[in-house]
């Protein structure tokens, strides 16, 4: 027979455990310790407060442009929670919730967003990469780290984040192909938030799902409700376990929505309908997680109120520390020349001295900065 159907040996499942009303599918419900559930919820409250405060600080000119998280907290926290501290976290540029979960201090994030290298703080033990602004550029890095893990015979795993727009970039496709060909311990977590700045998903791709792009590379791929923290956790945990056992990579498409702007530099009302935003506000990951915890008896309204206030206070304190640090930081030029090379060439050192002389001369003139 000349024409027959090719069996692709693949299907895409969609996983949802906690619905918009906070009702849970008990068969699929994961067994997460109460303490962890409450920690995740507290972090969600904190991230949301932090996002709002950053927007205010940006409007006041105290920090620069940033990419808000609002709406994507479950996609980030559900997945990052499944990762061990010793595993590797490869973010794009909107993973503030995941980064806070990994231990980033709020004040460091503010210092960074205010344009200072001093906000970048990694330790020798860090297994988190810095944010990557060029879309999709970090995906191959996650693959390379996973390759190293495999070569070394370690049992670590890499969790790599990116968005729907990234799936149009070559870096994404080339990285996925490598990951599957070498069967590497990496999990690709795509937050499909439906908008790449002003370009909606249907203009980004005509694929029915983003998950099927993983299928093209022979990769296990699935879709989850990205606003359902339980589903994201279950899918990511399973993918991480498979990766750890040497069973290769997984591609997870988390369906979510950017409730806020792309960055503080754009105005979403110009390009997307208010009705759509309203629809997605009903699917907000926070209230549904809250309802679930209340129904489980882990949480009551008073605790929510108190923790919301606590989040405000925590952010207040972070902002105070941030401002104190800025006062002391001045504009000394060292950060320009530090870490450019392992050892700066002589002409770069001469340039450093030139800047230092300028700064000193200005100070002596009493010109301040």
Partner 1 sequence: MAGVTMVQALNQAMREEMARDETVLLLGEDVGVDGGIFRVSDGLLDEFGEKRVVDTPLSEVAIVGSAIGLALYGFRPIAELQFSGFSYQAFHQVEGHVSRYRKRSQGRYTVPLVIRMPYGAGVRALEHHSESREAYYAHTPGLKVVIPRSPRKAWELLKASIRDPDPVVFMEPKGLYRRGREELPKDRRKVPALDGAEIVQEGEDITVVAYGAMLYRAMEAVKTLEREDVVNAEIIDLQMIAPLDSDTVNASVQKTGRAVVIHEAPRTLGVGAEIAARITEESFLSLEAPVKRITGYDVQVPMFAREQLYLPSEERILQGMRDTLAF
Q: Which residues sit at the interface with partner 1, rule CB under 8 A?
A: 64-65, 112, 114-117, 133-135, 137, 165-166, 168-171, 196-199, 203-205, 265-266, 270-271, 331, 333, 335-337, 340, 344-345, 347-348, 351-352, 355, 358-359
- Six-digit token pair at 300? 């009551």
On the CB side of 225, CA atoms within 13 Å amount to 18
Cβ nearer to partner 1, comparing 2 with 346: 346
Beta bridge partners of 223: 14, 253
Is residue 262 among the annotated active site residues?
yes
Assess contact for 293 and 41: CB atoms under 8 A. yes
Minimum Å distance from CB 63 to partner 1?
10
Interatomic CA distance for residues 132 and 26, integer angstroms: 38
Minimum Å distance from CB 304 to partner 1?
34
Residues 6+ apart with CB under 8 A from 111: 118, 119, 322, 325, 326, 329
Interatomic CA distance for residues 104 and 333, integer angstroms: 25
Residue with tokens 């595993």: 87
**Given 258, 283, 288, 292, which residue is catalytic?**
258
Residue with tokens 């915890």: 293
Is residue 258 among the annotated active site residues?
yes
Interatomic CA distance for residues 87 and 282, integer angstroms: 34
Residue with tokens 């980004």: 204
Angle between helices 285-295 and 73-80 (to 10 degrees): 60
Return the DSSP state at 269: G
Cβ nearer to partner 1, comparing 34 with 267: 267
Cβ nearer to partner 1, comparing 34 with 357: 357
C-alpha angle with apex 341: 337 to 347, nearest 5 degrees?
65
Residue with tokens 């405060």: 53
Cβ nearer to partner 1, comparing 24 with 196: 196
Interatomic CA distance for residues 170 and 212, integer angstroms: 16
**Given 220, 262, 283, 288, which residue is catalytic?**
262
Cβ nearer to partner 1, comparing 22 with 64: 64
Residue with tokens 């806070």: 100
Interatomic CA distance for residues 73 and 47, integer angstroms: 8
Cβ nearer to partner 1, comparing 133 with 313: 133
CA neighbor of 224 nearest in space, from 246, 209, 202, 244: 209
Assess contact for 50 and 96: CB atoms under 8 A. yes
Catalytically active residues are 258, 262, 271
């Amino acid at each position: 027979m000349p024409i027959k159907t090719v069996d692709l040996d693949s299907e895409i499942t969609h996983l949802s455990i906690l619905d918009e009303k906070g009702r849970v599918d008990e068969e699929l419900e994961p067994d997460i310790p109460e303490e962890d559930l409450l920690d995740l919820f507290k972090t969600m409250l904190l991230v949301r407060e932090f996002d709002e405060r950053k927007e205010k600080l940006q409007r006041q000119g105290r920090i620069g442009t940033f990419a808000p998280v609002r709406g994507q907290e479950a996609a980030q926290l559900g997945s990052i929670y499944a990762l061990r501290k010793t595993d590797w976290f490869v973010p794009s540029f909107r993973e503030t919730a995941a980064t806070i979960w990994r231990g980033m201090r709020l004040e460091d994030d503010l210092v960074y967003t205010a344009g200072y290298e001093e906000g970048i703080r990694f330790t020798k033990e860090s297994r988190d990469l810095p944010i990557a602004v060029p879309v999709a550029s970090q995906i191959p890095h996650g693959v390379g780290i996973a390759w190293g893990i495999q070569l070394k015979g370690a049992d670590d795993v890499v969790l790599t984040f990116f968005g729907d727009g990234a799936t149009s970039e070559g870096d994404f496709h080339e990285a996925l192909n490598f990951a599957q060909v070498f069967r590497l311990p990496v999990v690709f977590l795509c937050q499909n938030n439906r908008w790449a700045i002003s370009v909606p998903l249907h203009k980004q791709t005509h694929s029915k799902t983003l998950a099927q792009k993983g299928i093209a590379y022979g990769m296990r791929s699935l879709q989850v409700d990205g606003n359902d923290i339980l589903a994201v956790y279950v899918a990511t945990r399973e993918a991480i376990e498979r990766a750890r056992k040497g069973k290769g990579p997984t591609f997870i498409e988390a369906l979510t929505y950017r409730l806020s702007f792309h960055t503080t530099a754009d105005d979403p009302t110009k390009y997307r309908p208010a009705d759509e935003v309203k629809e997605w506000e009903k699917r907000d990951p926070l209230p549904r997680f809250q309802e679930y915890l209340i129904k489980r008896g882990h949480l009551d309204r008073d605790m929510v109120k108190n923790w919301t206030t606590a989040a405000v206070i925590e952010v207040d304190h972070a902002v105070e520390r941030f401002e104190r640090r800025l006062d002391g930081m001045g504009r000394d030029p060292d950060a320009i020349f530090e870490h450019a090379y392992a050892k700066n060439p002589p002409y770069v050192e001469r340039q450093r001295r030139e800047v230092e002389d300028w700064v000193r001369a200005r100070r002596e003139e009493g010109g301040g900065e």
